[in-house]
Structure 1
Amino acid sequence: MITFEGAEVYLPGEIAETNVTIAEGRIAEIGGPAQREVIDARGMILAPALVDVHGDAFERQLMPRPGVFFPVEAAVLETDRQLAANGIATAYHSVTLGFEPGLRAASHGREVIEALIALAPRLTVENRVQLRWETFATEALEVLEWAMNGPIGTSLAFNDHLSMAMRGFDIGIQDRLFEHNPDFAVADLDDPRMAQRWSKQVARSGLDAEEYMALVRKVWARRPQVVETIREVAGRARALGVPMLSHDDTRAETRAFYRALGATASEFPMTLEPAKDARAHGDTIIFGAPNAVRGGSHIDSLGAGDMVEAGLCDVLASDYYYPAMLAAVERLDREKRADRLTLWALVSAGPARAMKLDDRGEIAPGKRADLVLVDWPEGHMPAVRGTWVAGRAAYRAQPLEAETREKSHISRSNRCPPSRSVHA
């Protein structure tokens, strides 16, 4: 048994200064006397650990510079440590299963998933996988089937960056129609401007521009069969109970199409139309935490802070930067976008519900003891002091200024300060 003594605890519905005891990987008691091992948590926050539904920052460990690959095992081990240090106890790595070679090839995605499975006993947090499927990538179908039936927890995100890049040159990225609407305007592949539009992908793939554009032509020719393939893959995911998400929605029509297939989460909607449609139909709405930290979208889509304030955001995901989840809570709290418990739920209870993980995301008796201990001085950025996953310490940190207090504190197993509500 471990008791966190005297923390400011984020409970469902209130924040209270109290004790929390964990045993056998779960929350055993709230407010009772201290037990065997006592952690002095006075002056700190004890909150549900973070659940990240979409993070691809691991790609920086795999390929820190364009075309420069590092061993997958080294990348996975380093990523896991970063997650723990940022208070993330459950992470869905957004592993792209695409048609291009290199970092986002379906075959490379399988290699990453295989490494996550093999390394699981050595990892400190729960590493899961978001199958970020490019819907034109028939190369990925075998990997999708294998992964959804495998031993690692998965979600499935429908991505269509190919159609996005094929939109007419006079159409903004946020203004495009549903990708399979008959009126979707398509650009000319022979237009010289295409080279600039695909430059990032060319650099990532390792192909030269001519080779890459030849690949695009080949894959784009699959368009008449894509909708049926999407339906088949979604049917397999439904049968297996895999949570599904649609990515970068711009229209209510997009949301309705994927909702009908069982994808009840809208990930990073680009305009108000699909966000409002999602809310009206009870779908989960996900935004990127970096968007909130920076004060807006880097591609001029919806601002996450505005959506939180409008009640149109249920989840904040790390996206491309793991520290962004905690930093987003800090900024949105400072800006008074919502009360602190509501904000914390965006990185804990909200994502847990979205991924059907009913055993975590809250500090309540019987829940899994996924906890984060946070030092959050007023007016400053929060810092993680410890992360526990199912009661096991995944990360501990003791800053220099805390050394004197830690040495002078004597654990008293029979002391239990009365619980008092800090604020609701």
Structure 2
Amino acid sequence: MQHFVIEGATVILLDHVAPVAVRVEAGRIAALDGPRDGARVIDGRGLVLAPAMVDIHGDAFERQLMPRPGVLLPTEAALLETDRQLAANGIATAYHALTLSFEPGLRSVATGREVVAALAALAPRLTVENRVQLRWETFCFEALPLIEEALVGPLLPALAFNDHMTMAVLDPSCALQDRPFDHDPAFPVTDMHGAAFAAKMETRAKRSGMAATDFTALMREIWTRRAEVPAVIALAGERARAVGAPMLSHDDSQPETRSFYRGHGARISEFPMNLAVAGAAREAGDWIVFGAPNAARGGSHLGSPGAADMLAAGLCDILASDYYYPAVLAAVARLQADGAGALAGLWKLVAANPAEALGLADRGEIALGKRADLVLLDWPDGHPPVVRQTFVEGRAAYRAIAAG
């Protein structure tokens, strides 16, 4: 593998920004301001060099799999396109939030199995490191065999506990962000035979390729599993702990919910839905994740806490692409423009912090011995940044030359 040096760029280091020459050898960062020694020189003048991003949760790949409701495209072609999008957006490590649900179609266990198998088969052709976040719907007991298989696969996945079933049946008189602990015996449940519930399920039904009446019947059937769910959660958590997989809980609405999943090994709070939960996570030393689209837009589309506000309160450690890969870079740019923090500190939200939370000690910062996962940015003052080159372990994953 050819050695090279990136010279002239403004470099985002772990705690400051400086004009440093970065030498890469055998996929690793070999020197900072070291000698050229015959290495190829990449001109970084006028550009910003940063650690490539680590995306802890992204489900934008679903748009490649199903660009329209009910229209599924071939899995391998969809994942190859996703990989290109990741590289073009400076993301060198991606955890695809692969929903494993009792729904048929896009978020089914069958589709999840196809994606896991396709990523393994495509690995030699992919440009970035495509991992999986097993975004497990806890009412989907059928997913356990796939979870167990994936946990011993070549790239250790993350396991995320999701309970969109309980969220779906919440009585509309209770705000989603403040709903009780999911396993509270007094949880307020809507009328699952009523017209309002059927209308609410129409979008899910389309995604699943089912008639709305059939889908609502499926939801009523799955709800009968509720008493068994805690034991199955315990089993899945045990399997993940056994292999050291990072675990997350999703959309927590109560400190009790966060405590419950922490007790099963989930030390990452993903998209906490109110200030009390985020505060409880911080007090316990958990990692806290918010969506980059939230930060890039200036607020949540669901009415959950704003990422910028949470960052200011010391309650945000990581930004995830969520449903839009370009949002990761856009979020950092907006936060910097709004004076939310220094660039080096803001960049930790998308590189060093997610890498540490996920147990990836070899990446996320520009430092000696770390993986040469790098991104060169064209970032004029007062204008949005754009990716010009992405390197993964020193390998060119993406390159774009401006017309000027």
Aligned partners of 1:19 and 1:33 also within 8 Å: no
Count of aligned pairs between the two proteins = 401
In 1: Cα distance, 2:285 partner to 2:199 partner = 39
1:288 aligned onto 2:291: yes
Separation (CA, whole Å) in 2 of partners of 1:42 and 1:90:
26
Which residue is equivalent to 1:13?
A: 15
Aligned to 2:116: 113
Per-residue Cα deviation, 1:130-184 (whole angstroms, up to 9, x for no partner): 0000000011111111111112330000000000011112011112011001221
1:21-420 equivalences under 5 Å are: 21-35=23-37, 36-401=39-404
State the alpha-carbon separation in 2 of the partners of residues 320 and 117 from structure 1: 23
Q: Give the counterpart letter for 1:98 in structure 2.
A: S
- How far off is 1:218 after superposition? 1.2
Deviation at 1:380, TM superposition (A): 0.5
Deviation at 1:64, TM superposition (A): 0.4
Q: 2:345 and 2:274 mapped to 1: Cα distance? A: 23
Percent identity over paired residues: 59
Contact 2:83 2:127 (C-alpha < 8 Å) held by counterparts:
yes
Q: Which runs of 4+ in 1 moved over 4 A?
A: none
Contact residue 46 and residue 371 of structure 1 kept, 8 A: yes
Match of 1:404 in 2: none
On the 8 A contact 1:5/1:34 being kept in 2, the answer is no
Aligned partner letter, 2:19: E
When the two chains are superposed, the root-mean-square deviation of aligned CA atoms in Å is: 0.8
Deviations 1:62-85 (A, max 9, x none): 010011111101100000000000
Letter of the 2:391 partner, please give it: W
Cα shift at 1:34: 2.6
State how far apart, in whole Å, the 1-side matches of 2:115 and 2:127 are.
17
Counterpart CA distance in 1 for 2:157 and 2:393 is: 19
Flag the structure with larger Rg.
1
Q: Distance in 2 between matches of 1:329 and 1:12?
A: 15
Aligned counterparts of 2:399 and 2:363: Cα–Cα separation in 1: 20
Could you report, residue by residue, the CA deviation over 1:29-80 in whole angstroms, capped at 9, with x for unpaired residues?
Answer: 0012334100000111111000001000000100100111111011000000
TM-score by length of 1: 0.94
Partner SS, residue 339 of structure 2: coil
Higher relative contact order (CA 8 A, sep 6+): 1
Report if the CA contact (8 A) 2:379-2:386 is conserved.
yes
Q: Distance in 2 between matches of 1:146 and 1:367?
A: 29
Give the counterpart letter for 1:336 in structure 2: G
Q: Which runs of 5+ in 2 are unaligned?
A: none
Q: Helix, strand or coil: the match of 1:320?
A: coil
Give yes or no for contact 2:7–2:41 (8 Å, CA) kept in 1. yes
CA distance in 2, matches of 1:183, 1:358: 43
Give the aligned residue type for 1:234: G
Once residues 360 and 154 of structure 2 are traced to their aligned partners in structure 1, the CA distance between those partners, rounded to angstroms, is 16
